[in-house]
Amino acid sequence: MIQVEHLTKYYGDFPAVKNLSFEIEEGHVYGFLGPNGAGKSTTMNIMTGCLSATEGHVKIDGHDIFDEPREAKKLIGYLPEIPPLYLNETPEEYLRFVGEAKGLRGAELEAQINEIVDLTGIAAVRGRCISALSKGYRQRVGIAQALVGKPKVIVLDEPTVGLDPIQIIEIRDLIRELGRTHTVIFSSHILSEVQTICEKILIINEGRLIAFDTPENLKKTLSSDSFIRLTAETTPEGARDILANIPGIAKLETKTEEGGLVSVTVSTNAGNLHSVSREIFFAFARRDKALLEMTLKKASLEDIFLELTEKSARGKSAKKRAGKGEKAS
Amino acid sequence: MTAVLKHELRSYFHSLTAYVFGAFLLAFVGIGAMMYNIQAAVSNFEYVLSFGCLVFVVIVPILTMRVLAEEKRQKTDQLLYSLPITTVDVIAGKYLALLVLYLIPLAIISFYPLIFAQFGDVYLLTSYGSIFAFFLMGAALIALGMFISSLTDNQGLAAGVGIALILFNYYSVSLSEYVSSTAVGSVAALFVLILAVGAVIRVVTGSANLAYAFCIAGVLAVMIVNFIDPTMLEGLVPSVMTALSLFERFYAFVNGVFDMTAVVFYLSVIGLFLFLSVQSLEKRRYN
């Protein structure tokens, strides 16, 4: 449906997007995830034809956004980060203008406006001035605008930013609803949001794509981040010795605590954390050393996100993880 | 394009802009008609227009200040970029909407000569020739105003710059009499002009080398011309100032001359500023 090939965008000397390539298939909800300033908005602006690219191509259903903008833009509905609303108009007038600009006329236009107004839940305010609407309603009008003309793809740039929790849930439900009939791409820097709605996640950082997979696969392939933290009555050397022969341990960090204790952070890539913790328990038991505390921490998508973005940012993810482990214990 | 045109017209009639513009134009021309045609009993309606064109200094910037600046400020230009319409559609639609707004009071004004003709001998040909030129001049100023509006996201600034430029254009012929007409004066003025254009190039394109190249080439060209034949530069500045005056060309029509070069000049000015507006809007995509 959408092919992005070797997309590069420079703002002056600053590279906002670097050699970004991915392909989006029809009929899913895609989450576009990345920290602030990662290049999400820039990429979306280029995909929708609002911005030029320094290099690379974007094809929407075979139409190049730069060479055949009219055909390509007809297939896309876009809600930018700040909803582009004419404040002195009513939602109805606004949607009529957008519809006419997208080439709709007469009865067809009216029918679509009615349908979209109902779908986005702005029927009650369709005759009120947009400047008098709350932020949640304005966001809905913005989404409604993207839906006019029945585009195949809907691109939403941070649609839930600045809304209250109830409005956020409503907008998420709406996105999920839209995902049944459209290809939806939406960006966010909130991971849980992407996780709950999206079937596939693109993680982008510093203008590069660093992961593109389903949430489950991301967890599976990157589960090396699972931790077991334990506190035992031994020395750091002793703990290393005890844990030396346990299969599945990828990495060990030890730290001496007060009162002759040692805290250990074990990173493991084993799928079944309990099999590792069981081995650890018996290993300490065989040596007659008391295991005072043991916590398991499965890698959440949050950790994966952090790890991926950190790794690509500085290549110091290990250090960061260890630091995090210390704080937690 | 029609979508933009309809949308613009609707928003103008929603706000006060259309009414203020029309009311000012009608009031000013009305006062002129009262002074010349009724009080002084002159049968030439074109004198009224020549008096009335001063009002453009104020009303054109008021009309055009928000046309593109407001889109930028409210970020609605993003919508225009993402819609399946071209930048040319946007500019053409907006410009036509402005012309429609301008034509409404002008259509009312077009009845005045006919009304006066009921009571005396009115030279209808010069009257309507002048109304036609009045329309073209206003259209050219509106194109200029729209271009100024495309450069900023601040309506007030757009209006201020617009008023200053149109006022300067209005008085440029009178001012040209005070400008030095010697070759040395022309060289100095050209140097200043070249540096100013160079600065604009630097800001607009962001390329310092291009600006330097332009300045050096310009200065060299001026010096070579000055070296070969200084008489070519004599009186250059005043004559350029006169030639660029949109108002001066209008007075030819008032004097009863239907000047085709002026028509071509107005159309070229309109074309130039519409082209520049399109480029200015396109540029935001390539920042």
In Å, what is the CA distance from B219 to each residue of B183, B214, B215, B235? 14, 9, 6, 18
Are both A72 and A181 inside the same structural domain?
A: yes
Give residue A319's pLDDT. 41
pLDDT values of chain A reduced to their tens digit, one per residue, 329 residues: 888 999 999 888 888 888 889 998 888 899 988 888 888 889 999 999 888 888 898 999 889 988 888 889 999 999 998 999 999 899 999 999 999 999 888 899 999 999 999 988 899 998 899 999 988 899 999 999 999 998 999 999 988 888 888 888 888 888 888 888 889 998 987 777 888 888 888 888 888 888 888 888 877 666 555 788 889 888 888 888 888 888 878 788 888 888 888 888 888 777 677 888 888 888 888 888 888 888 887 766 666 677 666 766 654 444 444 444 444 33
Q: Which of B183, B162, B25 is nearest to B104 (CA)?
A: B25
The confidence band for B166, taking pLDDT boundaries of 50, 70 and 90, is very high
Are both A160 and A232 inside the same structural domain?
A: no
Strand-pair partners of A266: A228, A252
Q: In chain A, whose CA is at the least distance from the CA of B76?
A: A84
**A273-286 and A236-243 helices, crossing angle to 10°:** 120
Are both A237 and A209 inside the same structural domain?
A: no
- Domain ranges, residue A98: 2-214
The answer to whether residue B177 scores a pLDDT higher than 80 is yes
Each residue's pLDDT tens digit, B12-64: 888 888 899 999 999 999 999 999 888 888 888 888 998 888 899 999 999 99
**Listed residues A214, A249, A282: the one ending a domain:** A214
Contact status of B74 with chain A (Cβ, < 8 Å): yes
Contact status of B286 with chain A (Cβ, < 8 Å): yes
Q: Which candidate in A13, A44, A50, A129 is best for mutational testing of the B interface (most B CBs within 10 A)? A: A50
Our CA-based measurement puts residue B261 at a distance from the nearest CA of chain A, in whole angstroms, of 38
Q: In chain A, whose CA is at the least distance from the CA of B72?
A: A84
Contact status of B13 with chain A (Cβ, < 8 Å): no
Q: Which of A73, A76, A97 comes nearest B7 by C-beta?
A: A97
CA distance B93 to B83: 14
Are both A33 and A110 inside the same structural domain?
A: yes
Are both A130 and A259 inside the same structural domain?
A: no
The answer to whether residue B131 scores a pLDDT higher than 50 is yes
- Enumerate the residues of chain A whose CB falls inside 8 A of the CB of residue B286: 52
Q: Within a 13 Å sphere around the CA of B270, how many CA atoms are in the beta-carbon half?
A: 18
Contact status of B287 with chain A (Cβ, < 8 Å): yes
Are both A132 and A22 inside the same structural domain?
A: yes
ipTM over 0.90: no
Q: What is the DSSP string of chain B?
A: -HHHHHHHHHHHHHSSHHHHHHHHHHHHHHHHHIIIIIIS----HHHHHHHHGGGHHHHHHHHHTHHHHHHHHTTTHHHHHHSSS-HHHHHHHHHHHHHHHHHHHHHHHTHHHHHHHTSS---HHHHHHHHHHHHHHHHHHHHHHHHHHHT-S-HHHHHHHHHHHHHHHHHHHHHHTTS--SHHHHHHHHHHHHHHHHHHHHHHH--HHHHHHHHHHHHHHHHHHHHH-GGGGTTHHHHHHHHH-HHHHHHHHHTT---HHHHHHHHHHHHHHHHHHHHHHHHGGG-
Contact status of B82 with chain A (Cβ, < 8 Å): yes
Are both A227 and A209 inside the same structural domain?
A: no
Are both A238 and A313 inside the same structural domain?
A: yes
In Å, what is the CA distance from A118 to each residue of A316, B38, B172? 50, 61, 59
* Interchain proximity A51–B285, CB inside 8 Å: yes
Are both A99 and A188 inside the same structural domain?
A: yes
Are both A229 and A314 inside the same structural domain?
A: yes
Q: Which amino acid is it at B31? A: I
The CATH number of whichever domain residue A324 belongs to comes to 3.30.70.260
Give the number of domains in chain A.
Answer: 2
Secondary element (H or E) of residue A328: helix A317-328
* Interchain proximity B74–A85, CB inside 8 Å: yes
The CATH number of whichever domain residue A17 belongs to comes to 3.40.50.300
User: What is the SS3 assignment for A200?
Assistant: strand
- Enumerate the residues of chain B whose CB falls inside 8 A of the CB of residue A101: 3-4, 7, 83-85
- Mean pLDDT in chain B? 89
CA distance B176 to A160: 59
Contact status of B100 with chain A (Cβ, < 8 Å): no
Are both A43 and A165 inside the same structural domain?
A: yes
Residue B24 CA, chain-centre distance (Å), reads 18
In Å, what is the CA distance from A309 to each residue of A302, A326, B60? 11, 20, 53
* Interchain proximity A76–B206, CB inside 8 Å: no
**Listed residues A188, A214, A240: the one ending a domain:** A214
**Listed residues A194, A214, A234: the one ending a domain:** A214
Give residue A37's pLDDT. 80
Contact status of A32 with chain B (Cβ, < 8 Å): no
Contact status of A190 with chain B (Cβ, < 8 Å): no
Give residue B217's pLDDT. 93
* Interchain proximity A50–B285, CB inside 8 Å: yes
* Interchain proximity B15–A88, CB inside 8 Å: yes
Contact status of A129 with chain B (Cβ, < 8 Å): no
* Interchain proximity A70–B86, CB inside 8 Å: yes
Q: In chain B, whose CA is at the least distance from the CA of A129?
A: B14
Secondary element (H or E) of residue A143: helix A135-147
